[in-house]
Amino acid sequence: MNYNDLLQLYFDRANALQNFWNIYILAVGGILAFASMRKQPAALTTFVVCLLFALFAYENLGAMKDCTAQRFAMLEAVKKFDANGGAQTDPTALRQLLEPTLTPATWQSVKTTHLISDVLTIAGLVVMELRRRRLSNVSPTA
């Protein structure tokens, strides 16, 4: 494996992490859109949607953890790569320019962002349900 292969693997993991975030954002948007379109209160439906979202978020976060660990492993491999160990071109100049920019988000920052978004999404679902209940208890005036 040469230096370019290592860099490609690093950026493949970065793209994979971005894909997990994209899926997460689409799921949150879809769930909130579904919840905002409902007119009648339904506590059971809200509970089931919150539970399913929490399960999805848990699995998504686990995938992000694995991907983040892989990114850091690849970064370590990139930094430890022997420039003369079989690479077809001398990557010394590239290494000096590129390695300082290889700064993956830490697992703690990924987890914190994900968990805050999870809590806010579930809170949004509950607030929408409570609003529907409040509005259904208000009788229209003639």
Q: What is the pLDDT of residues 44-54, one digit of tens each?
A: 889 999 999 99
Terminal C-alpha separation, the chain? 77
Collapsing DSSP states into helix, strand and coil, what is residue 103? coil
Encode pLDDT of 80-104 as tens digits.
Answer: 777 555 555 556 766 776 678 778 8
Could you tell me which residue, 61 or 78, shows the higher pLDDT? 61
Q: Does residue 5 sit in helix, strand or coil?
A: helix
- Determine the Cα–Cα distance for residues 108 and 110; give it in Å rounded to an integer: 5
Nearest to 74 by CA among 8, 142, 140: 8
- What per-residue confidence (pLDDT) applies to 107? 93
pLDDT digits over 23-33, tens only? 999 999 999 99
Query: What percent of the chain is helix, strand and coil (3-state, nearest 5)?
Result: 80, 0, 20
DSSP category for residue 117: H
Higher pLDDT, 37 or 138: 37
What would the mean pLDDT of 108-122 be, rounded to a whole number? 95
Give the span between the Cα atoms of 100 and 95, in whole angstroms.
8
Decide if 38 contacts 135 (C-beta within 8 A). no
Please tell me the predicted confidence (pLDDT) of residue 24: 96
Mean pLDDT, the chain, integer: 85
Range 72-81 average pLDDT: 83
The pLDDT-based confidence of 74 (bands split at 50, 70, 90) is confident
Q: What percent of the chain has pLDDT over 70?
A: 88
- Percentage of the chain lying above the pLDDT 90 cut: 48
| CA separation for the pair 76, 102 (Å, rounded) | 10
Q: Which two three-digit tokens encode residue 110?
A: 């990924």
The answer to whether residue 4 scores a pLDDT higher than 80 is yes
Structure tokens at 24: 């997460």
